[in-house]
Amino acid sequence: MSVFEYMHKQGHEQVLIIQDKSAGLRGVIAIYDTTLGPAGGGTRRMVYNSFEEAIVDALNLSKAMAYKYAAAGVSCGGGKGVIIVNSPNEKSEELYRAYARFVDSLEGRFFTGMDVGTGIQELRWMIEETPYIFGLPETKKGAPEDWAPTSYGIMRGMEACIEEVYGVRSFQDIVVAIQGLGKVGMPLVRYLYERNVKKIFVSDVVEELVKYAVREFGCESVPPDKIYEVECDIFSPCALGGILNDETIPKLKCKIVAGGANNQLADEEKHDLLLYEKGILYAPDFVINAGQAVDDQDTAEPGGYNFQRAREKIDGIYDRIKQIIKISKEKKLPTQKCAYMYAEERIRKIRALKQVKLTKTRIPRW
């Protein structure tokens, strides 16, 4: 399938195939939709099996970012950058500065930040060539040192789910099972602990992380292959994607699934429906885990980052999860499907407003 065929199929606005031979750069920048504002999305540096695989990844990820921002109520479109390498160790200042010049050539249609293979050092190289970068810690003055926006947003989304299922927002009688104790899972443990959660079960393949959670927050450890079977109120996947599947869903003994992992449903349509039919309330992953994307995007606001404003935006995850639950109940449809409908409706409404404005301001031909 050609690039144009992929674009036509998914509805992308623009795809850039980029190269700088002297820097060893090969890559793709995909812009899905800019109806809501400039496209935002991280830059991924990976080894791909083929050029086609890299393009498909960029297209899929940029579309996912558009839905994430739309559902988050942020005035930002969806984009993604991909740098193709032959080895995970293939990175340099020249590589990233060459890539950043292509980002700069888009003149603000695309803002980018961290992703797999791209961290703070890489962003600092890139900002030498373009201002269209978000996520640098020095741009987030005023945020507490322990601020974890994704984890905070998940906690707020959990509150919406608890209120729907149990009629309360307090965690005092709630048992949570968290899979994965990395950059999202461990801060989530802390946020829940601070809110007097009744009990937290944790699992991770890294034993030291589990020991830390047990020691510092009184968690109870569970072997990774047993975490699905824990009797709890909330199962929170915060590790790998695709973990909700034909094998694991039947094992779940919870009323709510709400976690930070991306692409949790192995087959979106099939497993969204399976959870719905099982009576488990699923918090759509791209809605509940949008905290970091929202926080990073705030650095691009006029006047720069404002912690209070960013946190208020992330607090809105509570309301958005509630709205998606309402749509699900009214239409008798699974929540992930309703989340896409919710995001698409926002894009549609803003696109209609812009078309009206263009019609009113069009200069007539004489």
Q: Tell me how far the alpha carbon of residue 127 is from its chain's centroid.
A: 23
User: Percent of the chain beyond pLDDT 90?
Assistant: 83
For residue 332, the tally of other CB atoms under 10 A from its CB is 7
Candidate from 51-65, 84-98, 143-157, 222-236 with smallest mean pLDDT: 51-65
Q: Which residues contact 101 (CB under 8 A, 6 or more apart)?
A: 20, 129, 130
CA distances to 87, 185, 330 from 324, rounded to whole Å, are: 42, 24, 10
Instruction: Give the pLDDT confidence score for residue 301 in this predicted structure.
Output: 84
Q: Is the pLDDT of residue 363 over 90?
A: no
Please identify which residue in the block is written with the tokens 């005092």. Answer: 172
Domains and CATH numbers, the chain: 3-66+76-133 (3.40.50.10860), 149-345 (3.40.50.720)
Q: Is the pLDDT of residue 360 over 80?
A: no
Work out the angle between the directed axes of helices 307-331 and 335-361 (0-180°, nearest 10).
110
Q: Is the pLDDT of residue 156 over 50?
A: yes
Model pLDDT for residues 9-25, shown as the tens digit of each residue: 788 999 999 999 999 99
Q: What is the pLDDT averaged over residues 215-243?
A: 96
Q: CA-CA distance, 132 to 147, in Å (whole number)?
A: 23
Model pLDDT for residues 175-199, shown as the tens digit of each residue: 999 999 999 999 999 999 999 999 9
Q: What is the pLDDT averaged over residues 222-228?
A: 96
Q: CA-CA distance, 310 to 297, in Å (whole number)?
A: 9
Q: CA-CA distance, 16 to 180, in Å (whole number)?
A: 35
Q: CA-CA distance, 186 to 151, in Å (whole number)?
A: 8
DSSP-derived secondary structure for 264-302: -BSSHHHHHHHHHHTTPEE--HHHHT-HHHHHHHHTTST
Instruction: Give the pLDDT confidence score for residue 356 in this predicted structure.
Output: 60
Q: What is the pLDDT averaged over residues 92-117?
A: 96
Q: CA-CA distance, 100 to 156, in Å (whole number)?
A: 35
Q: Tell me how far the alpha carbon of residue 355 is from its chain's centroid.
A: 29
Q: What is the pLDDT averaged over residues 312-332?
A: 97
Instruction: Give the pLDDT confidence score for residue 357 in this predicted structure.
Output: 56
Q: CA-CA distance, 110 to 251, in Å (whole number)?
A: 42
Instruction: Give the pLDDT confidence score for residue 300 in this predicted structure.
Output: 80
Q: What is the pLDDT averaged over residues 56-79?
A: 92
Residues acting as catalytic residues: 80
User: Percent of the chain beyond pLDDT 70?
Assistant: 97
Confidence of residue 138 (pLDDT cuts 50, 70, 90): confident
